Protein backbone atom coordinates (compact mmCIF):
# COMPACT_ATOMS: atom_id res chain seq x y z
CA UNK A 1 0.00 0.00 0.00
CA UNK A 2 1.35 3.46 -0.84
CA UNK A 3 -1.57 5.93 -0.81
CA UNK A 4 -4.12 6.26 1.99
CA UNK A 5 -7.04 8.65 2.45
CA UNK A 6 -8.15 10.39 5.62
CA UNK A 7 -11.75 11.62 5.56
CA UNK A 8 -12.39 14.18 8.28
CA UNK A 9 -15.97 13.80 9.53
CA UNK A 10 -15.69 14.91 13.15
CA UNK A 11 -17.34 18.33 12.84
CA UNK A 12 -20.85 19.27 13.86
CA UNK A 13 -21.69 21.46 10.83
CA UNK A 14 -24.15 23.72 12.66
CA UNK A 15 -24.55 26.21 9.78
CA UNK A 16 -26.01 23.47 7.58
CA UNK A 17 -29.02 23.02 9.84
CA UNK A 18 -30.86 19.74 10.37
CA UNK A 19 -31.31 17.41 13.32
CA UNK A 20 -27.98 15.63 12.77
CA UNK A 21 -24.54 16.75 11.62
CA UNK A 22 -24.38 17.40 7.88
CA UNK A 23 -22.20 14.38 7.11
CA UNK A 24 -25.03 12.11 8.30
CA UNK A 25 -27.79 13.86 6.39
CA UNK A 26 -29.26 12.18 3.32
CA UNK A 27 -28.51 13.36 -0.21
CA UNK A 28 -29.47 11.34 -3.30
CA UNK A 29 -30.68 8.51 -1.08
CA UNK A 30 -27.55 8.11 1.06
CA UNK A 31 -25.67 9.89 3.81
CA UNK A 32 -23.20 12.53 2.60
CA UNK A 33 -20.37 10.63 4.29
CA UNK A 34 -21.27 7.44 2.41
CA UNK A 35 -20.97 9.26 -0.93
CA UNK A 36 -17.62 10.69 0.14
CA UNK A 37 -16.20 7.34 1.24
CA UNK A 38 -17.34 5.70 -2.00
CA UNK A 39 -15.50 8.30 -4.07
CA UNK A 40 -12.21 7.11 -2.55
CA UNK A 41 -13.18 3.43 -2.68
CA UNK A 42 -13.54 3.83 -6.45
CA UNK A 43 -10.32 5.81 -6.85
CA UNK A 44 -7.48 3.76 -8.37
CA UNK A 45 -4.40 3.75 -6.20
CA UNK A 46 -6.11 4.51 -2.88
CA UNK A 47 -5.54 1.80 -0.29
CA UNK A 48 -6.52 2.31 3.33
CA UNK A 49 -9.35 4.71 4.11
CA UNK A 50 -9.47 6.28 7.58
CA UNK A 51 -12.64 8.06 8.69
CA UNK A 52 -12.28 10.48 11.59
CA UNK A 53 -15.55 10.73 13.54
CA UNK A 54 -16.78 12.86 16.38
CA UNK A 55 -16.46 10.89 19.65
CA UNK A 56 -20.26 10.94 20.00
CA UNK A 57 -20.60 9.29 16.56
CA UNK A 58 -18.32 6.30 17.07
CA UNK A 59 -21.25 3.87 17.17
CA UNK A 60 -22.13 4.99 13.64
CA UNK A 61 -18.66 3.88 12.59
CA UNK A 62 -19.45 0.19 13.10
CA UNK A 63 -20.78 -0.10 9.53
CA UNK A 64 -17.71 1.73 8.19
CA UNK A 65 -15.39 -0.74 9.90
CA UNK A 66 -17.52 -3.64 8.63
CA UNK A 67 -16.93 -2.33 5.10
CA UNK A 68 -13.17 -2.74 5.62
CA UNK A 69 -12.21 0.83 6.53
CA UNK A 70 -10.66 2.35 9.66
CA UNK A 71 -12.37 4.63 12.15
CA UNK A 72 -10.75 6.89 14.73
CA UNK A 73 -12.18 9.48 17.11
CA UNK A 74 -11.50 13.12 16.30
CA UNK A 75 -10.16 15.83 18.57
CA UNK A 76 -11.43 19.22 19.68
CA UNK A 77 -10.18 20.90 16.48
CA UNK A 78 -9.81 19.87 12.87
CA UNK A 79 -6.04 19.81 13.28
CA UNK A 80 -6.35 17.45 16.23
CA UNK A 81 -8.66 15.22 14.19
CA UNK A 82 -6.19 15.05 11.29
CA UNK A 83 -3.37 14.24 13.71
CA UNK A 84 -5.41 11.28 15.00
CA UNK A 85 -6.03 10.12 11.45
CA UNK A 86 -2.33 10.33 10.56
CA UNK A 87 -1.33 8.42 13.66
CA UNK A 88 -3.50 5.40 12.85
CA UNK A 89 -1.59 5.03 9.55
CA UNK A 90 1.77 4.66 11.29
CA UNK A 91 2.04 0.89 10.76
CA UNK A 92 0.44 0.63 7.30
CA UNK A 93 3.43 1.27 5.01
CA UNK A 94 1.89 4.47 3.68
CA UNK A 95 4.03 6.80 1.55
CA UNK A 96 1.34 9.27 0.44
CA UNK A 97 -1.82 10.49 2.14
CA UNK A 98 -4.88 12.38 0.92
CA UNK A 99 -6.79 14.47 3.47
CA UNK A 100 -10.38 15.24 2.51
CA UNK A 101 -13.40 16.96 4.01
CA UNK A 102 -16.34 14.59 4.52
CA UNK A 103 -18.64 17.44 3.48
CA UNK A 104 -17.33 17.27 -0.11
CA UNK A 105 -19.31 14.26 -1.40
CA UNK A 106 -19.14 15.30 -5.07
CA UNK A 107 -15.37 15.07 -5.48
CA UNK A 108 -14.57 13.65 -8.90
CA UNK A 109 -12.26 10.80 -9.77
CA UNK A 110 -10.31 13.24 -11.95
CA UNK A 111 -9.51 15.52 -9.00
CA UNK A 112 -8.40 12.59 -6.84
CA UNK A 113 -6.29 11.16 -9.66
CA UNK A 114 -4.66 14.53 -10.40
CA UNK A 115 -3.63 15.01 -6.77
CA UNK A 116 -2.12 11.51 -6.57
CA UNK A 117 -0.27 12.04 -9.87
CA UNK A 118 1.19 15.33 -8.67
CA UNK A 119 2.63 13.57 -5.60
CA UNK A 120 4.92 11.52 -7.84
CA UNK A 121 7.23 14.54 -8.10
CA UNK A 122 5.96 16.88 -5.36
CA UNK A 123 5.81 16.65 -1.57
CA UNK A 124 2.34 18.23 -1.51
CA UNK A 125 -0.47 18.98 -3.94
CA UNK A 126 -3.98 20.37 -3.63
CA UNK A 127 -6.87 21.26 -5.98
CA UNK A 128 -7.96 24.85 -6.32
CA UNK A 129 -9.94 27.15 -8.61
CA UNK A 130 -8.69 30.57 -9.63
CA UNK A 131 -11.08 33.37 -8.65
CA UNK A 132 -12.90 34.88 -11.60
CA UNK A 133 -15.42 37.15 -9.85
CA UNK A 134 -14.67 40.69 -8.73
CA UNK A 135 -13.86 40.98 -5.03
CA UNK A 136 -15.32 43.67 -2.79
CA UNK A 137 -14.88 44.85 0.74
CA UNK A 138 -18.17 45.64 2.43
CA UNK A 139 -19.72 46.90 5.63
CA UNK A 140 -23.30 47.52 6.73
CA UNK A 141 -24.63 46.16 3.46
CA UNK A 142 -22.61 48.50 1.25
CA UNK A 143 -19.50 48.15 -0.89
CA UNK A 144 -16.58 49.86 0.81
CA UNK A 145 -13.83 48.96 -1.61
CA UNK A 146 -12.46 46.46 -4.12
CA UNK A 147 -9.69 43.91 -3.95
CA UNK A 148 -7.39 42.60 -6.68
CA UNK A 149 -8.26 38.95 -7.45
CA UNK A 150 -5.02 38.21 -9.32
CA UNK A 151 -3.30 35.15 -7.92
CA UNK A 152 -6.17 34.24 -5.60
CA UNK A 153 -7.64 30.72 -5.51
CA UNK A 154 -10.47 28.88 -3.82
CA UNK A 155 -8.93 25.89 -2.03
CA UNK A 156 -10.49 22.43 -2.19
CA UNK A 157 -9.73 18.94 -0.93
CA UNK A 158 -8.37 16.27 -1.09
CA UNK A 159 -5.04 17.83 -0.22
CA UNK A 160 -2.26 15.32 -0.78
CA UNK A 161 1.09 14.94 0.92
CA UNK A 162 4.16 12.83 1.30
CA UNK A 163 3.17 10.94 4.44
CA UNK A 164 6.41 11.36 6.39
CA UNK A 165 6.63 15.04 5.49
CA UNK A 166 3.09 15.94 6.60
CA UNK A 167 3.46 13.94 9.82
CA UNK A 168 6.62 15.90 10.67
CA UNK A 169 4.86 19.16 9.75
CA UNK A 170 1.97 18.37 12.09
CA UNK A 171 4.33 17.38 14.90
CA UNK A 172 6.04 20.78 14.64
CA UNK A 173 2.96 22.95 14.06
CA UNK A 174 1.51 25.11 16.81
CA UNK A 175 -1.72 27.10 16.75
CA UNK A 176 -4.70 26.94 14.40
CA UNK A 177 -4.86 26.57 10.63
CA UNK A 178 -7.54 26.84 7.97
CA UNK A 179 -6.41 23.65 6.21
CA UNK A 180 -3.59 21.14 5.84
CA UNK A 181 -1.80 23.20 3.18
CA UNK A 182 -1.23 25.91 5.80
CA UNK A 183 0.42 23.33 8.07
CA UNK A 184 2.61 22.06 5.22
CA UNK A 185 3.73 25.52 4.15
CA UNK A 186 4.62 26.43 7.72
CA UNK A 187 7.08 23.53 7.56
CA UNK A 188 8.58 24.82 4.31
CA UNK A 189 6.87 22.24 2.08
CA UNK A 190 6.03 23.53 -1.40
CA UNK A 191 2.46 22.82 -2.50
CA UNK A 192 1.61 22.22 -6.16
CA UNK A 193 -1.79 23.45 -7.36
CA UNK A 194 -3.83 21.03 -9.51
CA UNK A 195 -7.11 21.94 -11.23
CA UNK A 196 -10.11 21.97 -8.94
CA UNK A 197 -13.71 21.28 -9.92
CA UNK A 198 -16.72 23.58 -9.51
CA UNK A 199 -18.80 20.55 -8.57
CA UNK A 200 -16.47 19.71 -5.69
CA UNK A 201 -18.49 21.91 -3.35
CA UNK A 202 -18.29 21.80 0.41
CA UNK A 203 -21.77 21.37 1.88
CA UNK A 204 -21.92 24.21 4.40
CA UNK A 205 -25.30 25.97 4.24
CA UNK A 206 -28.84 24.55 3.92
CA UNK A 207 -29.04 25.42 0.22
CA UNK A 208 -25.94 23.35 -0.56
CA UNK A 209 -27.80 20.07 -0.06
CA UNK A 210 -29.99 20.62 -3.12
CA UNK A 211 -26.98 21.46 -5.27
CA UNK A 212 -25.08 18.39 -4.04
CA UNK A 213 -28.11 16.24 -4.83
CA UNK A 214 -28.28 17.54 -8.40
CA UNK A 215 -24.57 16.86 -8.93
CA UNK A 216 -24.67 13.37 -7.44
CA UNK A 217 -27.75 12.37 -9.41
CA UNK A 218 -26.23 13.71 -12.62
CA UNK A 219 -22.99 11.82 -12.06
CA UNK A 220 -24.67 8.60 -10.93
CA UNK A 221 -23.48 5.54 -12.83
CA UNK A 222 -26.61 3.69 -13.95
CA UNK A 223 -26.37 0.55 -16.10
CA UNK A 224 -29.13 -1.25 -18.00
CA UNK A 225 -28.89 -4.77 -19.34
CA UNK A 226 -31.19 -7.06 -21.32
CA UNK A 227 -31.37 -10.84 -21.31
CA UNK A 228 -33.24 -13.26 -23.56
CA UNK A 229 -33.48 -17.01 -23.34
CA UNK A 230 -35.44 -19.90 -24.88
CA UNK A 231 -35.90 -23.55 -23.87
CA UNK A 232 -37.90 -26.22 -25.64
CA UNK A 233 -40.35 -28.58 -23.98
CA UNK A 234 -39.48 -32.23 -23.42
CA UNK A 235 -40.53 -35.08 -21.17
CA UNK A 236 -41.28 -34.22 -17.56
CA UNK A 237 -43.92 -33.39 -14.98
CA UNK A 238 -42.95 -29.79 -14.13
CA UNK A 239 -41.09 -26.74 -15.34
CA UNK A 240 -38.78 -24.59 -13.19
CA UNK A 241 -39.44 -20.91 -13.77
CA UNK A 242 -37.76 -18.11 -11.78
CA UNK A 243 -36.82 -20.58 -9.06
CA UNK A 244 -40.29 -22.11 -8.66
CA UNK A 245 -41.32 -25.63 -9.73
CA UNK A 246 -44.62 -25.41 -11.59
CA UNK A 247 -46.56 -28.62 -12.22
CA UNK A 248 -47.00 -29.30 -15.94
CA UNK A 249 -47.33 -32.27 -18.29
CA UNK A 250 -43.91 -31.57 -19.80
CA UNK A 251 -40.52 -30.26 -18.71
CA UNK A 252 -38.01 -27.83 -20.20
CA UNK A 253 -34.86 -29.17 -21.79
CA UNK A 254 -31.44 -27.64 -21.18
CA UNK A 255 -27.95 -28.37 -19.93
CA UNK A 256 -28.86 -27.04 -16.46
CA UNK A 257 -32.34 -27.01 -14.93
CA UNK A 258 -33.50 -24.95 -17.96
CA UNK A 259 -34.97 -22.15 -15.82
CA UNK A 260 -35.56 -19.82 -18.74
CA UNK A 261 -36.64 -16.86 -16.56
CA UNK A 262 -33.63 -17.03 -14.26
CA UNK A 263 -31.30 -17.42 -17.23
CA UNK A 264 -32.72 -14.28 -18.84
CA UNK A 265 -32.31 -12.11 -15.74
CA UNK A 266 -28.81 -13.50 -15.12
CA UNK A 267 -27.80 -12.51 -18.64
CA UNK A 268 -29.40 -9.08 -18.09
CA UNK A 269 -27.10 -8.47 -15.11
CA UNK A 270 -24.03 -9.72 -16.97
CA UNK A 271 -25.03 -7.46 -19.86
CA UNK A 272 -25.35 -4.39 -17.63
CA UNK A 273 -21.85 -5.11 -16.34
CA UNK A 274 -20.50 -5.79 -19.87
CA UNK A 275 -19.41 -9.21 -18.64
CA UNK A 276 -20.68 -11.50 -21.37
CA UNK A 277 -23.34 -14.13 -20.74
CA UNK A 278 -24.01 -17.33 -18.82
CA UNK A 279 -22.27 -19.43 -21.45
CA UNK A 280 -18.99 -17.63 -20.84
CA UNK A 281 -19.11 -18.06 -17.07
CA UNK A 282 -20.71 -21.51 -17.00
CA UNK A 283 -19.89 -23.26 -20.32
CA UNK A 284 -22.48 -25.89 -21.36
CA UNK A 285 -19.56 -28.05 -22.42
CA UNK A 286 -18.52 -28.38 -18.76
CA UNK A 287 -20.21 -31.47 -17.27
CA UNK A 288 -20.26 -30.02 -13.76
CA UNK A 289 -23.11 -27.71 -14.77
CA UNK A 290 -25.31 -30.48 -16.17
CA UNK A 291 -28.64 -30.27 -14.34
CA UNK A 292 -27.32 -27.43 -12.16
CA UNK A 293 -29.70 -25.23 -10.18
CA UNK A 294 -29.87 -21.88 -11.99
CA UNK A 295 -29.76 -20.11 -8.65
CA UNK A 296 -26.00 -20.71 -8.83
CA UNK A 297 -25.79 -18.65 -12.02
CA UNK A 298 -27.91 -15.78 -10.73
CA UNK A 299 -26.06 -15.66 -7.41
CA UNK A 300 -22.78 -15.42 -9.34
CA UNK A 301 -24.05 -12.48 -11.41
CA UNK A 302 -25.36 -10.72 -8.29
CA UNK A 303 -22.01 -11.14 -6.50
CA UNK A 304 -20.15 -9.89 -9.56
CA UNK A 305 -22.31 -6.76 -9.56
CA UNK A 306 -21.48 -6.16 -5.89
CA UNK A 307 -17.77 -6.76 -6.48
CA UNK A 308 -17.82 -4.18 -9.28
CA UNK A 309 -19.50 -1.63 -7.01
CA UNK A 310 -23.12 -1.87 -8.20
CA UNK A 311 -26.44 -2.40 -6.48
CA UNK A 312 -29.36 -3.98 -8.31
CA UNK A 313 -32.10 -1.38 -8.48
CA UNK A 314 -34.83 -3.46 -10.10
CA UNK A 315 -35.49 -6.24 -12.60
CA UNK A 316 -38.41 -6.85 -14.94
CA UNK A 317 -38.98 -10.36 -16.33
CA UNK A 318 -41.49 -11.36 -18.99
CA UNK A 319 -42.26 -15.03 -19.57
CA UNK A 320 -43.67 -15.79 -23.02
CA UNK A 321 -45.79 -18.94 -23.26
CA UNK A 322 -49.30 -20.27 -23.78
CA UNK A 323 -48.98 -22.71 -20.88
CA UNK A 324 -48.47 -23.21 -18.01
CA UNK A 325 -50.30 -20.27 -16.46
CA UNK A 326 -47.85 -17.97 -14.69
CA UNK A 327 -50.19 -15.71 -12.71
CA UNK A 328 -50.83 -18.05 -9.78
CA UNK A 329 -47.09 -18.49 -9.26
CA UNK A 330 -45.82 -14.95 -9.91
CA UNK A 331 -45.69 -14.01 -6.23
CA UNK A 332 -43.58 -17.02 -5.31
CA UNK A 333 -41.30 -16.34 -8.30
CA UNK A 334 -40.78 -12.72 -7.26
CA UNK A 335 -39.97 -13.86 -3.74
CA UNK A 336 -37.43 -16.40 -4.98
CA UNK A 337 -35.64 -13.91 -7.23
CA UNK A 338 -35.67 -11.21 -4.53
CA UNK A 339 -34.13 -13.60 -2.00
CA UNK A 340 -31.21 -14.44 -4.29
CA UNK A 341 -30.63 -10.78 -5.12
CA UNK A 342 -31.14 -9.68 -1.50
CA UNK A 343 -33.45 -6.87 -2.58
CA UNK A 344 -36.99 -5.90 -1.65
CA UNK A 345 -39.61 -7.95 -3.47
CA UNK A 346 -41.16 -4.68 -4.67
CA UNK A 347 -38.15 -4.26 -6.96
CA UNK A 348 -38.90 -7.51 -8.81
CA UNK A 349 -41.49 -7.63 -11.58
CA UNK A 350 -42.57 -10.92 -13.15
CA UNK A 351 -45.31 -11.03 -15.74
CA UNK A 352 -46.39 -13.27 -18.59
CA UNK A 353 -47.75 -12.89 -22.07
CA UNK A 354 -48.65 -15.13 -24.96
CA UNK A 355 -47.59 -14.79 -28.58
CA UNK A 356 -51.20 -15.04 -29.77
CA UNK A 357 -50.63 -18.63 -30.91
CA UNK A 358 -47.88 -17.47 -33.25
CA UNK A 359 -44.39 -18.94 -33.49
CA UNK A 360 -42.83 -21.70 -31.41
CA UNK A 361 -44.30 -20.40 -28.14
CA UNK A 362 -47.72 -20.16 -29.79
CA UNK A 363 -47.40 -23.76 -30.90
CA UNK A 364 -46.45 -24.65 -27.31
CA UNK A 365 -43.04 -25.97 -28.30
CA UNK A 366 -41.25 -24.12 -25.52
CA UNK A 367 -41.00 -21.01 -23.35
CA UNK A 368 -39.12 -17.76 -23.95
CA UNK A 369 -38.15 -15.10 -21.43
CA UNK A 370 -37.07 -11.49 -21.70
CA UNK A 371 -35.52 -9.63 -18.76
CA UNK A 372 -34.21 -6.13 -18.04
CA UNK A 373 -32.00 -5.26 -15.07
CA UNK A 374 -31.08 -1.80 -13.79
CA UNK A 375 -27.88 -1.42 -11.76
CA UNK A 376 -26.74 1.66 -9.87
CA UNK A 377 -23.21 2.34 -8.63
CA UNK A 378 -23.19 1.85 -4.88
The pLDDT score that the predictor gives to residue 1 is 55
Last residue of a domain, one of 218, 244, 268: 218
- Which of 111, 330, 315 has its CA nearest to residue 241? 330
CATH number at residue 280: 3.30.1330.50
Across the range 352-375, mean pLDDT stands at 96
The pLDDT score that the predictor gives to residue 316 is 97
Q: Is the pLDDT of residue 252 over 90?
A: yes
Cβ 333 vs Cβ 371: under 8 Å: no
At residue 258, φ and ψ (nearest 5 deg) are: 60, 30
Residues 209 and 322 in one domain: no
Q: Is the pLDDT of residue 15 over 80?
A: no
Residues 98 and 143 in one domain: yes
Cβ 227 vs Cβ 266: under 8 Å: yes
Cβ 230 vs Cβ 368: under 8 Å: yes
Cβ 320 vs Cβ 365: under 8 Å: no
Last residue of a domain, one of 177, 202, 218: 218
Return all residues near 131 (Cβ < 8 A) that are at least 6 apart.
149, 152, 153, 154
Share of the chain above pLDDT 70, in %: 99
Range of the domain at 229: 222-377
Residues 194 and 251 in one domain: no
Residues 170 and 122 in one domain: yes
pLDDT tens digit string along 150-192? 999 999 999 999 999 999 999 999 989 999 999 999 999 999 9
Q: Is the pLDDT of residue 99 over 90?
A: yes
Residues 88 and 198 in one domain: yes
Q: Is the pLDDT of residue 37 over 60?
A: yes
Across the range 202-214, mean pLDDT stands at 92
Residues 78 and 188 in one domain: yes
The pLDDT score that the predictor gives to residue 309 is 82
CATH number at residue 201: 3.90.550.10
Q: What is the number of structural domains in the chain?
A: 2
Residues 76 and 172 in one domain: yes
pLDDT tens digit string along 296-331? 999 999 999 998 888 899 999 999 999 999 999 999
Residues 199 and 267 in one domain: no
Residues 213 and 289 in one domain: no
Longest dimension (CA), the chain: 91
Between 21 and 321, the higher pLDDT residue: 321
Instruction: Give pTM, 2 decimals.
Output: 0.66
Residues 37 and 181 in one domain: yes
Q: What is the mean pLDDT of the chain?
A: 94
Residues 263 and 199 in one domain: no
The pLDDT score that the predictor gives to residue 311 is 87
The pLDDT score that the predictor gives to residue 378 is 65
Tell me the CA distances in angstroms from 99 to 36, 70, 103, 108, 220, one per residue in order. 12, 14, 12, 15, 24
Cβ 246 vs Cβ 58: under 8 Å: no
Residues 80 and 137 in one domain: yes
Last residue of a domain, one of 189, 218, 247: 218
pLDDT tens digit string along 39-80? 998 898 899 999 999 999 999 999 999 889 999 999 999 999
The residue count for the chain: 378
Amino acid sequence: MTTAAIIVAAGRGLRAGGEVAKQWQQVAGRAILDHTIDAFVRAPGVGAIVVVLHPDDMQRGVAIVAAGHHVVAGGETRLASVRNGLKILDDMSVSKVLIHDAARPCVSQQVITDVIAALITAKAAAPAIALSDALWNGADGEVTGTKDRAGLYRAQTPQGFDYAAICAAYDAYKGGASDDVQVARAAGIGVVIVPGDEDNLKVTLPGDFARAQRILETNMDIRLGNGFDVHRFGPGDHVTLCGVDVAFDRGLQGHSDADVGMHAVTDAIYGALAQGDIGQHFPPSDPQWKGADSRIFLAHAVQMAADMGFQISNVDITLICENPKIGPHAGAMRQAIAAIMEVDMQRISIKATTSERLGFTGREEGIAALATAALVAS
